[in-house]
Structure 1
Amino acid sequence: MPSRQAPSSAEASDTQHLQSERLESLANGLALLRVFAEGTPSLTVQEAAQRLGMTRAAARRLLITLQLEGYLRCEGNLYYVTPRVMDLGFAYYASMSLPQLAHATLQSLGDQVSEACSLGVWDSGHVVIVARHEPARVLRVNVDIGRRLPAFAHSMGRVLLANQPVAAQRAHLKAWPPEAFTKETVTAKEKLLQIFQQVGQQGWCILAGELAEGFCGISVPIQGSTGKVLAALSITMVQGRRTVQDLEADYLPKLQAAAQQLEALVHGRERFHGFNF
């Protein structure tokens, strides 16, 4: 095993310079919050002093400071962490875009179902893939990030259309007249409006063989904290012998659970400022 290289003299000098700028009180405050994060439910002044290797007086000032800032509460001689510490974690998510937030969710979902998973958003009458995870396999669903797909003929597009007013749905079908991609593609406008209504009522969409023969997909919406639909989450696969009933029974619960996880992250992101892609 190769030995680890020693830091260069320049790196050592930079580290020493940074150490001279270190704010000890802030470092101690973060260390104390990490103690709670490791599973410690409460601390006394003496316990905090012992865990951090400082005097009781210094530990007491630290605990009182965090109490005054709202991160701790005191009951008798015990200090407990408050829900406000979650702001520190959510601040991390506040700097992330929707595709970044979705990365881990897509990967986890893909590992569960062993199928391609995508996140799509509405853009000028199309559904655009903004994040995707696809397991390694010989036969792949060739859809890249940034791909624009006809909304009326894709399960994510129908989910996004279903959450628009009927007038907007009609306007969409007028601006982008449906065309047949396969013999299964629904192109009748009134029939499509009925499908959009059904998708909106049930909260999910299954589409088989309408955009490409032999492929099917199932999608659910991703909602913001106000209920506005921000995106759609989907699983896409080779249809094989799967029926619509198989997709609903086998994939829908996992897809809905993944959507709830992503929505929890989105809602945390929205607590800080409006969501931006």
Structure 2
Amino acid sequence: MPKLKREEGEERATDFVESLDRGLRLLQAFGNLSGPMTLSDVARAAELPRATARRILFTLERGGFVASDGKLFKLTPHVLTLAGAYLRSNQVVAVLQPVLDRISSAAQEISSLALLDGDEVVFIARGSPARVFSTGLDIGYRLPAFCTSVGRAMLGRFEDHELARRLRAMRREALTPHTVTDPKALLKTIVADRSKGYSLVDREAEPHFRSISVPVRRYDGTIVAAINMGAHVDRVPLRELTDRFLPLLREGAEDVKDKLL
């Protein structure tokens, strides 16, 4: 008898591996607290029974992802192989990294590449000028999408009705006195940014920082990422973002359009 084929989107209970889900949640729990954690700390942070957390920690320790002195547990650098595998296999990073390096060198400012992950943006690559002391958003850093220039550039990929729904549903807490949180005002801004082809945010995500971003499109015009440049408000005036940074960002995004699948 031939096997029945599942319809697309249909999920069976047997397709879900609960132990793997718990293990991943436990790994993420280490980011909730700084420094080594006790078994009780880990179980509480991961919302798991103590006995379950103990078994998972033992398994992760055997795999080299966790180290313990018998009382305290901490992640090992081996965990970075998971992030490294993602970065090495991601076409967007491979294609955009030379662009980030080029525009950073030209502007003598840090440039970053971000992806949209739910209601947040995550920074996955950066280019930095040849200066010993440079600061910027680290790879893996996350911020709310609604109040960042990269987030607004990528949110512009949604149709107006879907964008309005997402803005109403997402958590919108003010990060600075300048943060816009009203969903109608945000919708108007993002629609206008989509028309302009760039997004500029002034002190909404961080109190002394402004940034400008452009969407990165693949061959068919779909927005898949965003690249940005920014600086401290006391060092770079607002007009410089559009006069000097924006042309570099636009050129870089246009150069990769036909290379992204």
Answer yes or no: is 1:220 the counterpart of 2:211: no
For the residue of structure 1 that corresponds to 2:174, the secondary structure is coil
How many Å separate the matches in 2 of 1:126 and 1:166?
A: 19
Percent identical = 28
For the residue of structure 2 that corresponds to 1:216, the secondary structure is strand
Structure-1-length-normalised TM-score: 0.58
Larger RCO (CA within 8 A; separation ≥ 6): 1
CA contact (8 A) 1:206 1:244 kept: no
In structure 1, the partner of 2:57 is: none
Is the alpha carbon distance of 1:260 and 1:188 closer, same or farther for their aligned partners in structure 2, counting shifts above 3 Å?
A: same
How many Å separate the matches in 1 of 2:108 and 2:235?
A: 16
In structure 1, the partner of 2:180 is: 186
How far is 1:129 from its partner?
Answer: 1.0
How many Å separate the matches in 1 of 2:139 and 2:201?
A: 20
- Aligned equivalent of 1:100, options 83, 91, 94: 94
Answer yes or no: is 1:140 the counterpart of 2:140: no
User: Which deviations, in whole Å up to 9, do the C-alpha atoms of 1:82-119 show, x marking residues without a partner?
Assistant: xxxxxxxxxxxxx8621011111110111011111111
How far is 1:254 from its partner?
Answer: 1.2
Is the alpha carbon distance of 1:139 and 1:105 closer, same or farther for their aligned partners in structure 2, counting shifts above 3 Å?
A: closer
How far is 1:260 from its partner?
Answer: 1.3
How many Å separate the matches in 2 of 1:217 and 1:123?
A: 20
Matches within 5 A, 1:225-236: 225-236=219-230
CA contact (8 A) 2:109 2:229 kept: yes
Higher-Rg structure is 1
- 2:154 maps to a residue whose letter is L
How far is 1:241 from its partner?
Answer: 5.0
For the residue of structure 2 that corresponds to 1:220, the secondary structure is strand
Answer yes or no: is 1:245 the counterpart of 2:202: no
In structure 2, the partner of 1:160 is: 154
User: Which deviations, in whole Å up to 9, do the C-alpha atoms of 1:210-240 show, x marking residues without a partner?
Assistant: 1101111110011111111111111121122
CA contact (8 A) 1:128 1:149 kept: yes
How many Å separate the matches in 1 of 2:187 and 2:254?
A: 27
Decide which moves more: 132-141 or 109-118: 132-141
How many Å separate the matches in 1 of 2:116 and 2:135?
A: 24
In structure 1, the partner of 2:163 is: 169
In structure 1, the partner of 2:47 is: none
For the residue of structure 1 that corresponds to 2:236, the secondary structure is coil
How far is 1:146 from its partner?
Answer: 1.8
How many Å separate the matches in 1 of 2:192 and 2:211?
A: 16
How many Å separate the matches in 2 of 1:109 and 1:246?
A: 15
User: Which deviations, in whole Å up to 9, do the C-alpha atoms of 1:182-222 show, x marking residues without a partner?
Assistant: 11111111111110110011010111111101111110011
- 1:147 maps to a residue whose letter is Y
- 1:233 maps to a residue whose letter is I
Is the alpha carbon distance of 1:241 and 1:140 closer, same or farther for their aligned partners in structure 2, counting shifts above 3 Å?
A: closer
In structure 2, the partner of 1:151 is: 145
How far is 1:175 from its partner?
Answer: 2.6
Unaligned runs of 5+ in 2: 1-88
Answer yes or no: is 1:195 the counterpart of 2:152: no
For the residue of structure 2 that corresponds to 1:251, the secondary structure is helix
Is the alpha carbon distance of 1:96 and 1:174 closer, same or farther for their aligned partners in structure 2, counting shifts above 3 Å?
A: closer
- Aligned equivalent of 1:255, options 238, 249, 253: 249
CA contact (8 A) 1:121 1:232 kept: yes
Decide which moves more: 131-140 or 102-111: 131-140
How far is 1:139 from its partner?
Answer: 5.4
In structure 2, the partner of 1:126 is: 120
Structure-2-length-normalised TM-score: 0.62
